[in-house]
Amino acid sequence: MVSEAWLATCASTWGYNVPPSVSVIVVNWNGRAFLQKCLPSLAAQTYPSKDIIVVDNGSADGSEAWLGEHFPEVRLIRNAQNLGFGAACNQGARVSSATYLAFLNNDAWAEPNWLAELVQAAEMNDRIAMVASKMLFADQPQVINSTGICVDRFGISWDRQGGEVDVAPEASPEVLGPCGGAALYRRAMFEELGGFDDTFFAYLEDVDLAMRARWRGWGAAYAPAARVYHAHSGTSKEGSRFKTYYLSRNKIYWIAKSYPMPHLLLYLPGMVFYEVLSQGYAVMRGQGLAALRGRLAGWGALPRLLGWRRCFLKDAPIPAGEVWGRLEPVRGPWGVFGCYRHISQRLD
């Protein structure tokens, strides 16, 4: 919970008891049913200095009319078509002037002190630019969905503590970065790095941003009392061809952009081995073609990605070894499967 000491610090540091401003950005695509829980939870936040921005990606389910009727005070950005999660988040960020940018999936809802806890964690150090929430499964609120992102040295990413039973109290360790579905970002970092990479469209843009931020010396924290409940993949279904394609493609995207050298050359054979295993698993699930198309698209984009990489990393202030040290040790196939077991069980 937010401490009285922190509230006193707000009064003495910021003057007139006005804490840093936060814009909460919600990307919506045909999610009116989810907004009915998401937006009331944001309106009920105890954090005083906030505004809410909804970016609608061409919904055809009456979301716009519902918002106008029930939440006319929410700033609405209308897109004629689905521009993707990252691009829509960037749109919301561009119309905000707040100190912090909070992102919440439309299929999630937050406890009243969510924002206050995120800001408290960020204000502990002016180099903390990313704060992870505790995301719990909406249908299993005692089970953790995510407490940040983990990436191992083979480039495999997963939700930190995913599938574990929620316990309290707990420590607040440093994490690689937050899951973009419920996260706080410092505007200074977001603008410096150009926000999310629009070309990702959906999935792993949070991994990409976290890695780029690490190259620039920004840090990340986890706020265990910032709790949200997530209807996992409510908008884009788990195991869909859509999701399989973008996960397969975007993994290649972020590795090409920001995996440290020369470590990439050393670990590349293991990466290829796990890509083969992943492709086989996709075939077993009936998603083989979508996964293959995604990987081919990723390899096809390598000239563009490597050109971007050369420009970005030529003056990076953080050495490659330090960035590489943020990655998790590798594990065997069974250990990797364990990171996803709780998700695969939801498909069965």
Q: Which of 199, 230, 261 is the last residue of a domain?
A: 230
Q: What is the pLDDT of residue 57?
A: 97
Q: Directed axis angle between helix 32-43 and helix 63-70, to 10°?
A: 30
- Report pLDDT digits (tens) over 252-294: 999 999 999 999 999 999 999 999 999 999 999 999 999 999 9
CATH number of residue 86's parent domain: 3.90.550.60
pLDDT for residue 170: 77
**Residues near 254 by Cβ (< 8 Å), separated by ≥ 6?**
155, 204, 207, 208, 211
pLDDT for the residue 240:
87
pLDDT of residue 19: 87
- Give me the helix-helix angle, 302-313 and 288-300, nearest 10°: 50
Q: List, for residues 166-203, the tens digit of each pLDDT value.
A: 987 777 788 999 999 999 999 999 999 999 999 999 99
How would residue 13 be classed by pLDDT, with cut points 50, 70 and 90? very low
* Residue at 6: amino acid letter: W
Predicted local distance difference test score (pLDDT) of residue 31: 95
What is the per-residue pLDDT across 64-120, written as a single tens digit (0 to 9) for each? 999 999 999 999 999 999 999 999 999 999 999 999 999 999 999 999 999 999 999
- 29 and 130 in a single domain? The answer is yes
Which range, of 93-107, 123-137, 139-153, 156-170, averages the lowest pLDDT?
A: 156-170
Q: Are residues 185 and 246 in the same domain?
A: no
In whole numbers, what is the pLDDT of the chain averaged over residues? 92
DSSP character at residue 101 = E
Give residue 253's domain range: 241-344
Q: In the chain, how many domains are there?
A: 2
Same structural domain, 218 and 272: no
- Angle CA(271)–CA(276)–CA(278) in degrees, nearest 5? 90
| Model pLDDT, residue 77 | 98
Residue 45 belongs to some domain of the structure: yes
- Structure confidence at residue 14 as a pLDDT band (50, 70, 90): very low
Give the pLDDT of residue 33.
95
- Give the residue from 92, 211, 223, 130 showing the smallest Cα distance to 168: 223
* Residue predicted with more confidence, 348 or 72: 72
| Same domain? 162 vs 136 | yes
Pair (337, 202) in one structural domain: no
For the ranges 11-15, 33-37, 331-335, 342-346, the lowest mean pLDDT is seen at 11-15
Q: Is residue 74 part of a domain?
A: yes
36 and 151 in a common domain: yes
Question: Does 54 share its domain with 188?
Answer: yes
Residue 272 sits in the same domain as residue 154: no
Residues 26 and 54 sit within 8 Å (Cβ to Cβ): yes
Answer yes or no: is 135 within a domain: yes
Classify residue 133: in a domain, yes or no: yes
Mean pLDDT of 321-325: 97
| 232 and 105 Cβ atoms separated by less than 8 Å | no
- 139 in the same domain as 87: yes
Select the more confidently predicted residue: 346 or 336: 336
Boundary of a domain, candidates 230, 253, 282: 230
User: What is the structure's pLDDT at 239?
Assistant: 67
Please report which confidence band the pLDDT of residue 15 belongs to, taking 50, 70 and 90 as the band edges: very low
- Structure confidence at residue 148 (pLDDT): 97
Check pLDDT > 50 for residue 344: yes
Query: Positive or negative CA dihedral for 108, 103, 86, 276?
Result: negative
Tell me whether residue 235 is in a domain. Answer: no
Q: Which of 230, 254, 287 is the last residue of a domain?
A: 230
Judgement on whether residues 221 and 308 belong to the same structural domain of the protein? no
Q: What is the pLDDT of residue 8?
A: 47
Residue 126 structure tokens: 């002016």
How much is the pLDDT for 49?
Answer: 94
Distances (CA, A) of 30 to 25, 144, 241: 16, 26, 18
pLDDT of 228 reads 98
